[in-house]
Structure 1
Amino acid sequence: MTWNWWMFGGLILMTSMVSAGTLIALPNGNPQYPAMFGTDDSQVDSMLQVPSGTRIFVGRSKELRRLTASTASGSRSGPLMMIIAGMPGTGKTELAICAARALTARYPDGVFWLGLRTYAAAESRLTITSALRTLLNALNVPPDPNITSVAALSRTWRAVTAGKKMLIVLDDADTAEQIRPLLPAADGSAILITTRHVLTGLDPDCGITLQPFTQSQAARLAGAVLRRAGLRDPQAVAAIAAEFRLPLAIRQMSDLKAANPALSIPVAPAGTISDETSAAFARSLAALTKPARLVLRRVAHYPGSLITAPIAAVLADQQLDKANQQLATLYQRGLLIADNRSGVGYRMHDAVRATALIESGKHDSTRQMTSTFQRLFRYVNGIVDASVLLLDSSDSVTYLDADKGDPRLPPPLHESDVAVLRWLDQQHADLLAVARRSLSARSPYAWRLAYNLESYQRMRGFYSEIVELSSQALKLAEQADDALGQAAMHQGLGLVDMRTGRYLSALAHFKISLALYIRLSNRTGQAIIHHELCNVHKWLGNLSEARAHANFCLTVALSGDNLVERAFAFSNLGILDRLEGKSTAAREHLVRSKDLFEQVGQRRGIGICHRQLGMLDEHLGHHHDAQVHLDQALALFEDLGDLMNQADTHYNLAVTHRGLGDPTTALHHATIALVLAGQISHVQGQADAHTELACLARIAGDHTSARVHLRQAHDLRRRLRLAHSSEQHDSSPTA
């Protein structure tokens, strides 16, 4: 077991940032047979990529030329704004994909695609805060626990996009309020929006409203689709063009004809033109085999956007190979779209989903759907749990709960912790949607999903989502008298409080969690909470309290055979020894911890031990030894993208080089420490860096600069004291 706080927060490490893909590669076309859930990490990339479109683009060349020739209005500042409007099925997304491809070279700082999913189920929609945090993560902007509101995140987004040339595509927008916070700041950037209606309050530089095809355009599209399938049938082309005008319906009827050459083209339904798509898809569903219809009905209920073979197998309760075959059939019939961003799954148009859900209402009973969702929740919990185990096993629910997911379907395999993070970046929106659906279904898996997602979300800055899921799951666990679920959710809420500096609130949550774990005789849960209590008390300066909790952790670790658990227990004691001036004991514990981390290949733990040993040697005056340890720690933290530890290690190196009589190198490290600490709002780190800069200025004889740095350090530490006092005043007795 590894320990949460040392992995993602606290005295040593509060966050880890691993680069998410930002520059977007052009789509490679539809995979012929996308099949498995992301098992090949080399294929995993950001879901901000432009999705693959169809291989045939007909009838919108004039509109595409307008988009690619657009320039920003000189009457206002800000990015070039382009809007594609039109009723469902007119090809808005397809046109946006083609435009994004054509414009890629013009925007070298990145092309980012965000599907807002406005008309999907409520839990599937992308919130503005999630959209902003996703974009900031893609630009490697570290999450700041003090910046979580839409306004604050939007200000940060505008600040980091100033001077950049990037294209943001927002697919399926509904209101101007969704758009404004996501606007990049730079005049050289652009934003491309698709919507079903006019967005009141926006003044686009280029506005296009797509109309249904003319009969001539419809014939061109139908003919191109049929010819690509190897079918030359002028009569079928004419029949389709005579009855259908929406590009989506035309494609669907052409795909259906290609798969069934003897099929007669039905007459389009009377009424509005929007009825065309539902009629076309209903006809396509009727032509499917029974197993394929079942798979389509069930995957239509999936709250995420990426449909994979394991997801289909779970929802339809089929073997993996059978589900994979049915997905391939649905893809060939034009009912699913291959997703090039993952290479392993499909997307579904809202019109297809709506038709499939109508069919599901006719054929799937409430009991069947309840079982379907419970299988989904169990499977998704299992794959997230397996992924979390590679990041930090104490964040895995496996150690608290015996349920390990669906045994028929193996979890995805990942090459490294970096690959896990890339996969989670890609899947987060879908996993969040499933977790929300589990809450609305009052599933016993709701708290398990919230627990497993929390560590990733904390790392990436999705604080609002953590509180949302954990608070709701806690209420469900209380209503069900599920003590384990209550303990786990209090634990998660305590970790968020710790990350955001609310130490007294964190203490309250941890104490409740510990009492529940004791009631359950859950030794593992008790050890986890004792570790967190140890860290809180270290932050608050209560070292004797911290040591009591650390000793409990060591007792539990020595009673088992988990080397990582022992390593963190020894590092805990080593840090306390160092803080209490027990140098010999500190070195012994830290060396034992480092050796254990090296045995299991836990690089973050190795870095922690090297930094602590460097701090110990620096305090003892062994500056050369300290430099060796700190250099090794810094290399590891840079490789892991751990900005918090990088900032603190640069500060330690500044102190060490000052002790070595090298003020120039010390100034270099202190300056970097200040910049990094400022980037992540690490107030204590900023204060330490200013203090060291004051020392270096005094050595250089610049007493004016020394006083400025000391004043800034004093103000920062005063902020920390005031924040702590404010929390003490605000803490409620019920907490």
Structure 2
Amino acid sequence: MTVGASLATVLRVDVRSKEFRFCVLGPLRAWWNDTELVLGPPQQRAVLALLLLHRGRAVGVGELVDGIWGTEPPTAAVSVLRTYVSRLRKLLEPDRPVTGAPRLLVSLGDGYALRRDAVVGDIDLFEDLVGRAEARRVAGDDLAAVQLLAGALELWDGVPLAGVPGPRAEIERRRLEERRLAALETRLRIEVDLGGHARVLPEITALYEAHPLREALCELFLVALYRSGRRAEALDVYERTRRTLAERLGIEPGPRLRTLYAGLLSDGPGPVEVFGTEEPGPGGSSGASTSGGDTTGPPATGGTGGPGPAFADQAGGPEPDFDDDGAVGQDDPARPAGVVRPSQLPTDLAMFTGRRSQLEGFDALLPHQEHPRTALIGLISGMAGAGKTTLAVHWAHRIAHRFPDGSLYVNLRGYDPSASRMEPGEAIETFLVALGIAQQAVPEGLDAQAALFRSVLAGRRVLIVLDNAADTEQVVPLLPAAPGCLVIVTSRSRLSGLVARHGAHPLTLGPLSAGESLELLARRLGDARVDAEPEAARAIVGLCARLPLALSIVGARAALHPDFRLADIAAELRQDHGSLDAFSGGDLGSDARAVFSWSYRALSPEAAGLFRRLALHPGPDVTTDAAAALADVPARRVRTVLTELTGASLLIERAPGRFDFHDLLHAYAAELAEAEDDEPARGAALLRMHDHFLFGAHQASMVLDPFREPIPLPPSTTDVAPLRFNGRAQATAWLRTERYVLREIVAHAAAHGFDAHAWRTAAALDVYFNRLGYWHDLLEINTGALWSARKLGSVTGQAYSLCGLGVAHSQLNHAAQAREHLEAGLDLFRAAGHAGGQARAHRGLAYLCNRTDRRDEALDHYARAVELYRSEDDVSGEAGVLNQVAWTYILIGEHEKALEHCTEAILLYQEQDDPYGEASTQDTLGYALHHLARYPEAIEHFELSARLFHGIGDRFLEADVLSHLADAHLATGNREAARTALGTALARLEELAHTEADVVRRRLRELEPDQAEPGG
């Protein structure tokens, strides 16, 4: 279309301000400034493609090796990969000095990333246009949406990533093609809605012929034919689709397609009205408006509304206002502000083989879901190593398109050797957050959490995978009531209670058939190699008991040594008489060890040692840096060793730089550690691990709050290199990804005699866990920390732990417990003569008083805290309290007094050169001025606060202040300035993939020009 073409052309011109441009929606091409680059050999192009498609996120070395070469990497794959990276750096930055650091292709962790600020590509333009089209469609401007989608589709130049080799490129090709088809279907759907069915019918016909299994496309074809007066042809198309689905997939058409068919058969108006509902947007999800409810900003006068999610920590930020349920702000945080469509399924196994009859059996369940009374439950049980998780994930990917509201996944760790079984409440909490519920709004108690989970899922169609369940009791609270949902459960147990009481459809998974086992080997080793030694291949299958885990390990080892004869491999397995019968009983016996030991003995000594050390880690997964600490080797060296372990299928890289075991392999590694390493060696490894996490947590805490009083740390007795963070964003990212590990680390330290590490690690985590609302975690880690501190007889440790418990109980509205713990902590800090600790406890008590409407008592505690900070010349602590005093006066309604204390606090923060504290207080000052209706002044202070947070790199609090700024602009009647502020806030939240983005997006829609009242 003319408009779309001109739009795409304009965008291509606009991106010339970027140094580096690329195209993946066709052959891979790249330009530096205006010069097209010669991208080198195919594998080098594959490296570039993977980095580009990760959009600035780091890609681990192991992931790159697997993505480029699959199961048959060259012997020196890592070395070759680094050569490609070096060549790409020279290619992409020709003006970089030889000794200069890379600016574009940078090293991050154990991998590489392409910085996004100087890069733009056709995929970015495509996604931007599709997103804008969806926004225009929500606003009711269908014609503009069609034009934007046409422009997006014109960016395509053939097969995506044409000429790029490797299994990962093939996966990305399919994903990109799916995005194109979704956008094309949406454009055609809108055009049919606009009455253009006759014009687009030839295009729909050709698309249907090319993709006869796409039910959404068939729906579109039926409606276009019907509206063109061709009902009989529409009926023929339905029958053809039904037969195709049955023959190729063994399934019946979905409910919407059957409803359309019924409309065609009736004497009524046909499928027109049905087609007009629940239409997918450009990305395949609902395109209906999600706005609803108010987003109330600061009131002009009076009131007690808080300035959004700032927290009562030691950084001096204002305290939030809480309603009776402990929820922040005036909106209901337990109701998602917009449609959140989680997509949590692990990556499907590219080498998946067999299980056809089981898949067909499960597929046969789906048609019965048309009018269910409850959610459908599929249960996969079976012996360890039988491939339950692999089958569940593969089937989930195969049917995910039937669940438009997203997919959820959790590993319940029911048989984890470290006994770190996941509690149902913890799983529900992660699901609720993924579904858009604010962390702070997750209630206490399993019953309340399960009820909220069921409520959130009501009316939604979500696919849920509950992996590795221990028993029925662990699963039941996680079951939705929504009839449109499907739950897939895996367990070594049969979970008869789930079948009897909840109607689960059971499937007991045994070993692969002999044919499937040979097919798996052929996929790993190549048909030619298996066909050349058929007897040896069959012998290997028998010796591995046809179990996928064992076959994968043997296959990986054989693939890494293409010169090994299969007969020799079978002979070596026979030496250990490996039948793996012990798998069937759930215990790892001598026969099960045969296959594992065969791969273990082939490891280098360094890799074998790391394999044993990793079993000491409490989980749930381990990073490259933690592995380096356990092994006592540099991180750059341990990456190579980890690659050796993943290449041997003895370790799984779940995410870039994050590894875990199959639980059987974890048990085997633990057994080896017990047998081959003496107690001093194991103890030294554990000490290095706990040093790594203690010093890492401490460093992250100091980066987040550089002016807080440091926690006294013991001198390190190991050579562990402490982690270093370049800024708040990096420290926060580490804490976020390590959250569950850190919780396990504190518990492990308390249980294994590392008591000094336990309470100090917990104390270092309080700022982050409190700010992010992880209050149940605060309770858990400080309970263990208090136990350890008491064992040590450490008065200071007990005081810190008690204060941590007090803060957590305050946030959870346990006023009596909070006061008891905080007052006990205050007494211990007094006994120790610890002035800073006493001030900390007084601040906690003041916050509790504000939570329980005892403002005068809060001011008394703050006054005592100020005295204590002044006695220690702690200017930052004093400033933080003054900011909190100002906020207390705002709660009382004495805004002039609030201004006085804000001004004093800002001067102290400026004296300390503390931009974070000043930014928080400028926000409080702007809020007080807003309440006094001094809007121009409020705007100045909000703008200054936002600039300071931007300079610090705190995108979340910058967005929070920008929302306050928008409220101030609205109070002056300047809707355009408010839209600008909210637009910037939305961009910041989208950078973080934060759920608050939906709130801001809704407010922006409400401020659209066509939403304004006449004359407004």
Mark the CA change 1:108 to 1:177 in structure 2 (over 3 Å): closer, same or farther.
same
Please list, as runs of the form range in 1=range in 2, the aligned pairs for 1:598-609 lying within 5 A after superposition.
606-607=919-920, 609=922
Deviation at 1:146, TM superposition (A): 8.1
2:854 equivalent among 516, 523, 540: 540
SS in 1 for 2:413: coil
1:253 equivalent among 554, 559, 570: 554
CA RMSD, 1 decimal: 4.4
The residue identity in structure 2 corresponding to 1:264 is I
Matched residue, 1:56: 351
SS in 1 for 2:581: coil
Cα pair 1:534 1:546 within 8 Å, conserved: yes
Matches of 2:463 and 2:895, distance apart in 1: 55
Mark the CA change 1:575 to 1:172 in structure 2 (over 3 Å): closer, same or farther.
closer
Deviation at 1:349, TM superposition (A): 0.9
Higher RCO structure (Cα 8 Å, ≥6 apart): 1
64-73 or 159-168, which deviates more: 64-73
Please list, as runs of the form range in 1=range in 2, the aligned pairs for 1:540-579 lying within 5 A after superposition.
540-541=854-855, 542=857, 545-552=860-867, 554-555=869-870, 559-560=873-874, 565=877, 567-575=879-887
Tell me whether 1:325 sits opposite 2:640 in the alignment: yes
Q: How far does the alpha carbon of each residue in 1:537-581 deviate from its partner, in whole angstroms, 9 at most, with x for none? A: 455222551342242255167x25x7x545424313444666788
428-437 or 452-461, which deviates more: 452-461
Matches of 2:429 and 2:110, distance apart in 1: 23
Matched residue, 2:762: 450
189-198 or 317-326, which deviates more: 317-326
Deviation at 1:472, TM superposition (A): 2.9
2:790 equivalent among 448, 471, 478: 478
The residue identity in structure 2 corresponding to 1:218 is S
Mark the CA change 1:608 to 1:198 in structure 2 (over 3 Å): closer, same or farther.
farther
Mark the CA change 1:30 to 1:622 in structure 2 (over 3 Å): closer, same or farther.
closer
Mark the CA change 1:383 to 1:57 in structure 2 (over 3 Å): closer, same or farther.
same
Deviation at 1:308, TM superposition (A): 2.5
Tell me whether 1:198 sits opposite 2:494 in the alignment: yes
Cα pair 1:169 1:192 within 8 Å, conserved: yes
Matched residue, 2:523: 224
Mark the CA change 1:56 to 1:79 in structure 2 (over 3 Å): closer, same or farther.
same
Cα pair 2:822 2:841 within 8 Å, conserved: yes
Unmatched segments (≥5 aa) in structure 1? 1-26, 666-735
Tell me whether 1:433 sits opposite 2:747 in the alignment: no
SS in 2 for 1:56: coil
Matched residue, 1:238: 538
Matches of 1:508 and 1:583, distance apart in 2: 32
Matches of 1:62 and 1:424, distance apart in 2: 44
Deviation at 1:136, TM superposition (A): 1.4
Matched residue, 1:372: 685
2:607 equivalent among 277, 288, 292: 292
Mark the CA change 1:488 to 1:394 in structure 2 (over 3 Å): closer, same or farther.
farther
Matched residue, 2:514: 215
1:389 equivalent among 693, 696, 702: 702
Mark the CA change 1:528 to 1:86 in structure 2 (over 3 Å): closer, same or farther.
same
Deviation at 1:520, TM superposition (A): 3.4
Matches of 1:462 and 1:136, distance apart in 2: 13
Please list, as runs of the form range in 1=range in 2, the aligned pairs for 1:395-406 lying within 5 A after superposition.
398-401=710-713
Unmatched segments (≥5 aa) in structure 2? 1-59, 66-77, 82-106, 116-340, 584-588, 979-1016
150-159 or 204-213, which deviates more: 204-213
Please list, as runs of the form range in 1=range in 2, the aligned pairs for 1:98-177 lying within 5 A after superposition.
98-121=394-417, 123-144=419-440, 147-177=443-473
Mark the CA change 1:61 to 1:241 in structure 2 (over 3 Å): closer, same or farther.
same
Matches of 1:332 and 1:543, distance apart in 2: 59
Deviation at 1:649, TM superposition (A): 6.8
Mark the CA change 1:320 to 1:580 in structure 2 (over 3 Å): closer, same or farther.
closer
Mark the CA change 1:618 to 1:582 in structure 2 (over 3 Å): closer, same or farther.
closer
Matches of 1:29 and 1:523, distance apart in 2: 50
Matched residue, 2:373: 77
The residue identity in structure 2 corresponding to 1:102 is R
State the TM-score, normalized to the length of structure 1. Answer: 0.74
Q: Which of the pair has more CA radius of gyration? A: 2
Mark the CA change 1:644 to 1:545 in structure 2 (over 3 Å): closer, same or farther.
farther
The residue identity in structure 1 corresponding to 2:509 is L
371-380 or 458-467, which deviates more: 458-467
Mark the CA change 1:251 to 1:486 in structure 2 (over 3 Å): closer, same or farther.
same
Deviation at 1:500, TM superposition (A): 2.5
Q: How far does the alpha carbon of each residue in 1:413-461 deviate from its partner, in whole angstroms, 9 at most, with x for none? A: 46644x6555444332222222221121131211122223344444555
SS in 2 for 1:124: coil
Deviation at 1:653, TM superposition (A): 7.3
Matches of 2:818 and 2:114, distance apart in 1: 39
Q: How far does the alpha carbon of each residue in 1:455-480 deviate from its partner, in whole angstroms, 9 at most, with x for none? A: 44445554444333322321221122
Aligned residues: 628
State the TM-score, normalized to the length of structure 2. Answer: 0.55
Q: How far does the alpha carbon of each residue in 1:268-313 deviate from its partner, in whole angstroms, 9 at most, with x for none? A: 4357262654320022112222222111011022111323322222
Matched residue, 2:569: 264
Mark the CA change 1:567 to 1:229 in structure 2 (over 3 Å): closer, same or farther.
farther
The residue identity in structure 2 corresponding to 1:486 is Q
Q: How far does the alpha carbon of each residue in 1:386-417 deviate from its partner, in whole angstroms, 9 at most, with x for none? A: 33334445788x44435589764342646644
Cα pair 1:85 1:208 within 8 Å, conserved: yes
Deviation at 1:77, TM superposition (A): 2.1
Cα pair 2:843 2:862 within 8 Å, conserved: no
Cα pair 1:573 1:589 within 8 Å, conserved: yes
1:493 equivalent among 793, 802, 805: 805
Mark the CA change 1:303 to 1:230 in structure 2 (over 3 Å): closer, same or farther.
farther
Deviation at 1:183, TM superposition (A): 1.9
Mark the CA change 1:601 to 1:208 in structure 2 (over 3 Å): closer, same or farther.
farther
